[in-house]
Amino acid sequence: MSSDLVLNGISKQFSGQRAVDNLDLTVPSGSFFALLGPSGCGKTTTLRMIAGLEEPTTGTIRLGEQEITGLRPYKRPVNTVFQNYALFPHLDIFENVAFGLKRRGVKDFKPKVEEMLGLVELSTYGKRRPSQLSGGQQQRVALARALINRPQVLLLDEPLGALDLKLRRQMQLELKRIQTEVGITFVHVTHDQEEAMTMADTIAVMNGGVIEQMGSPAELYDLPATTFVANFLGQSNLIRATIIGQAEENITVDVHGRKVTVPLPRCRVTEGDVWMGIRPEKVFIAAAGTEQSNGSNQLRGAVVTDVSYVGVSTQYLVKLPWDQELTIFEQNTGARGTFGVGETVDLHWLPTHTFVLDADQDAHAGVEHIDDPGGAG
Amino acid sequence: MSAVGQLGAASAAPPAKVERSGRRFTGYLLLLPGGLWLLLFFVVPLVSLLAASLYDPNGSIESGFKMTWHFQNFVDTMADYARPFGRSLWYSLLTTLFCLLLGYPLAYAIAMKAGRWKNFMLALVIAPFFTSFLIRTLSWKLLLSDNGFVVDALKWLHILGPDGRLLATTTAVVTGLTYNFLPFMVLPLYASLERIDPRLIEAGGDLFANPFTTFRTVTLPLSMPGVVAGTLLTFIPAAGDYINAQLLGTPKQRMIGNDIQRLFSAGAYPTAAALSVTLMAAIVVLVLVYVRRAGTEELL
């Protein structure tokens, strides 16, 4: 039985404001799916429409063979782990977890609740109130309360947002383990790209009510489709360039007078002005004048302006002759020398690590989250 | 390093001590004005009332009352005033029930559905307080009078017989009480409903509870502190009220407040005091049992 979750042409309008814009999305049954984006990108609204807590202005939502677009929340085979958990404060932990089963008239709920409390390692906490539990424990109760109903889809709305960093890392692995164990489709909403990459099989990056790109974490990171994805998922160096030719499976671009090669499948556009992109850890720094013979792309005459030693790697800021600054991460393997501020260096990287994006986009789209990792979507 | 630490500790110790004792006094100082007020206007009258309830009932204001520890006062008054006493409790119970039935939906609508009209609607609930209790009850007398439009309308609808009247009936008294105490029910209910996280109600729906079940299992239990506070604020003053019975009722609708007021005016202090103490004791016992049964302590 296939029970893929399919959103078709979903839009949501809030008093003139378009929160979600003509969204098409298929979440395969059994997958761990992340909706990733900055606050206000429409990811939470999308999740609430799947839960039935908002009604889409247009479009349909199907779950397997069943259309659930207009179905009231309590009739959907879908459960939610709410942001800040929304545990019932007047019920103890056992009653919180048993709530859904009782509402569906399940008679023999007691062993099921105990088993579920065991799964989230809270067996001895049944008689406590939510307010007597720590944030991490409350989070696990919220998860147990939703999972016990064996929903076809489990929705998680920023489930780890209220936890501190260490606990968050731990819960990420825990959630992934539980998802693999129960085999239920998880749809996870987050603004934290690391969280999405750690847990999800598939990530949909949302921005301004539309999906910018969808794919596995590695695909998105390796070959972003837009400047927003390039900046929001990790960091990118984007350099203005112009396409000047195509030879066999390669495109040649002109970067401020220097020729750079990019494999054709890694180019979103094949003519005109473009953004040439390269991830910071894919760039190598070499002393000025060092010849590279392996077909690398090269930019010469850069000057180191800043060096930060961060343990596993060293982070360089280098200024190119046209005054643009690039970020470069060098692994501290000890095999390569380090450079100091003011030194002139050459940069080189492989053509297969280069990507080319349409120049009509803002090169800084999606950057702001580095300064402001907080905020709910 | 340790020397510096000691020096720091030694020099810091005296001011810390001064500050702590200052803080200890602040609490008492803040308690003082209100405490004195309560002592003067609550404890002293209460003791004097308790004393008066045990005076010899044969005295008078002119000749003075003798303290004879006359516990028989309580037995006598209960024998003479059992009916208005029971009636008071019954009327205030009805009043509380009607206030709850009218007030809960109103408070719910204001808290959950009113949106930007919330403050305006709250102002409307409080608006009657701008007119005195007495004047408002007097206008109800006009409203329910035999020639008033309410009676006319009810007669036309055949709800009331051709000789039927509203004024001077139990209905009038309980209606008046309900009207007068409704805001005391609505405000605490509103406060506790407004505090409920809307996500809890969404969570109810998400966990297969239909709107009615969500109300029964989530909203209602979470609003119990408001229900308890509202019913107490309605029941207690309603049980001691005499204005509504006096203006809207007849001697047949007499409440215990009317008798207490009459007895005090007539100078029968021991009897009036004994009635007051009995009423107070009855209310305290009822309230204690009620709060215990409601079991809302853990929510407060």
Does a structural domain hold residue B124? Answer: yes
Higher pLDDT, B291 or B217: B217
Work out the mean pLDDT of chain A and round it to a whole number: 91
Q: What integer pLDDT is reported at residue A63 of this predicted model?
A: 94
Q: What integer pLDDT is reported at residue B162 of this predicted model?
A: 85
- Name the residue in chain B with its Cα closest to that of A129: B298
Mean predicted confidence (pLDDT) in B248-257: 92
Does a structural domain hold residue A350? Answer: yes
| End position of a domain, from candidates A222, A251, A283 | A222
Q: Which CATH number fits the domain that encloses residue A272?
A: 2.40.50.140
Q: What integer pLDDT is reported at residue A247 of this predicted model?
A: 84
Whether residue A211 sits in one domain with residue A70:
yes
Higher pLDDT, A170 or B190: B190
Whether residue A206 sits in one domain with residue A146:
yes
CB spacing of B205 vs A73 below 8 angstroms? yes
CB spacing of A82 vs B199 below 8 angstroms? yes
Q: What integer pLDDT is reported at residue B8 of this predicted model?
A: 42
Higher pLDDT, A327 or B59: A327
Does a structural domain hold residue B69? Answer: no
Mean predicted confidence (pLDDT) in A98-108: 95
Does a structural domain hold residue A140? Answer: yes
Q: What integer pLDDT is reported at residue B163 of this predicted model?
A: 86
Does a structural domain hold residue A259? Answer: yes
Q: Domain range spanning residue A350?
A: 237-360
Does a structural domain hold residue A370? Answer: no
Does a structural domain hold residue A65? Answer: yes
- Give the lowest-confidence range in A177-186, B20-29, B225-234: B20-29
In the block, tokens 């960093």 appear at A165
Overall number of domains in chain B:
1
Mean predicted confidence (pLDDT) in A253-258: 92
- d(CA A15, nearest CA chain B) in Å: 14
Whether residue A250 sits in one domain with residue A115:
no
Does a structural domain hold residue A229? Answer: no
CB spacing of A99 vs B299 below 8 angstroms? no
Whether residue A261 sits in one domain with residue A201:
no
- Give the lowest-confidence range in A4-8, B18-22, B248-252: B18-22
Tens-place pLDDT, residues A235-249: 999 999 999 988 888
For chain B, percent of residues with pLDDT exceeding 90: 71
Overall number of domains in chain A:
2
Give A-chain residues touching B208 at CB under 8 angstroms. 74-75, 100, 103-104, 149
Q: Domain range spanning residue B259?
A: 82-299
- Name the residue in chain A with its Cα closest to that of B207: A100
Whether residue A215 sits in one domain with residue A106:
yes
Q: Which CATH number fits the domain that encloses residue A65?
A: 3.40.50.300
CB atoms within 10 A of CB A296: 17
Q: How many angstroms separate the CA atoms of A94 and A99, rounded?
A: 9
User: A interface mutation test: which of B206, B218, B223 has the most A CBs within 10 A?
Assistant: B206
> Does the pLDDT of residue B299 top 80, yes or no?
no
- d(CA A205, nearest CA chain B) in Å: 26
> Does the pLDDT of residue A333 top 90, yes or no?
no
User: A interface mutation test: which of B192, B199, B208, B212 has the most A CBs within 10 A?
Assistant: B208
Whether residue A251 sits in one domain with residue A127:
no
Give A-chain residues touching B196 at CB under 8 angstroms. none
CB spacing of A103 vs B209 below 8 angstroms? yes
Does a structural domain hold residue B34? Answer: no
Of A52, A72, A86, the CB nearest to B203: A86
- d(CA B236, nearest CA chain A) in Å: 27
Tens-place pLDDT, residues B97-156: 999 999 999 999 999 999 899 999 999 999 998 999 999 999 999 999 988 899 999 999
Whether residue A273 sits in one domain with residue A190:
no
Q: Rounded to whole angstroms, what are the CA distances from A3 to A83, A316, A358?
A: 25, 48, 37
| End position of a domain, from candidates A193, A222, A251 | A222
Does a structural domain hold residue B88? Answer: yes
> Does the pLDDT of residue A1 top 50, yes or no?
no
Give A-chain residues touching B218 at CB under 8 angstroms. 88
Whether residue A158 sits in one domain with residue A256:
no
- d(CA A177, nearest CA chain B) in Å: 23
CB spacing of A99 vs B207 below 8 angstroms? yes
CB spacing of B208 vs A52 below 8 angstroms? no
Q: What integer pLDDT is reported at residue A75 of this predicted model?
A: 94
Q: What integer pLDDT is reported at residue B160 of this predicted model?
A: 87
Whether residue A356 sits in one domain with residue A255:
yes
Does a structural domain hold residue B68? Answer: no
Residue A174 pLDDT class (50, 70, 90 cuts): confident
Residue A2 pLDDT class (50, 70, 90 cuts): low
SS3 of residue B60 by DSSP: strand
Whether residue A251 sits in one domain with residue A180:
no
| End position of a domain, from candidates A168, A195, A222 | A222
Does a structural domain hold residue A210? Answer: yes
Higher pLDDT, A35 or A163: A35
CB spacing of A53 vs B202 below 8 angstroms? yes
Question: What's this model's pTM, rounded to 2 decimal places?
Answer: 0.83
Work out the mean pLDDT of chain B and round it to a whole number: 88
Q: Which two tokens stand for residue B135?
A: 């004047």
Give A-chain residues touching B214 at CB under 8 angstroms. 74
> Does the pLDDT of residue B17 top 70, yes or no?
no
Does a structural domain hold residue B111? Answer: yes
User: B interface mutation test: which of A53, A101, A106, A187 has the most B CBs within 10 A?
Assistant: A53
Mean predicted confidence (pLDDT) in B64-85: 91
> Does the pLDDT of residue A4 top 50, yes or no?
yes
Mean predicted confidence (pLDDT) in A305-322: 93
Is residue B203 within 8 angstroms of chain A, CB to CB? Answer: yes
Whether residue A81 sits in one domain with residue A165:
yes
CB spacing of B209 vs A104 below 8 angstroms? no
Tens-place pLDDT, residues A263-307: 999 999 988 999 999 999 999 998 888 877 678 899 999 999 999
- Name the residue in chain A with its Cα closest to that of B213: A103
ipTM: 0.84
Q: What integer pLDDT is reported at residue B12 of this predicted model?
A: 43
Residue B7 pLDDT class (50, 70, 90 cuts): very low
Residue B20 pLDDT class (50, 70, 90 cuts): low
- d(CA A241, nearest CA chain B) in Å: 50
- Name the residue in chain B with its Cα closest to that of A78: B206
> Does the pLDDT of residue A165 top 90, yes or no?
no
| Residue pair B73/B270 in contact by the 8 Å Cβ criterion | yes
Is residue B213 within 8 angstroms of chain A, CB to CB? Answer: yes
Q: Which CATH number fits the domain that encloses residue B159?
A: 1.10.3720.10
Q: What integer pLDDT is reported at residue B19 of this predicted model?
A: 55
Is residue B163 within 8 angstroms of chain A, CB to CB? Answer: no
Q: Which of A211, A36, A66, A82 is nearest to A152 (CA)?
A: A66
Whether residue A155 sits in one domain with residue A10:
yes
Does a structural domain hold residue B32? Answer: no
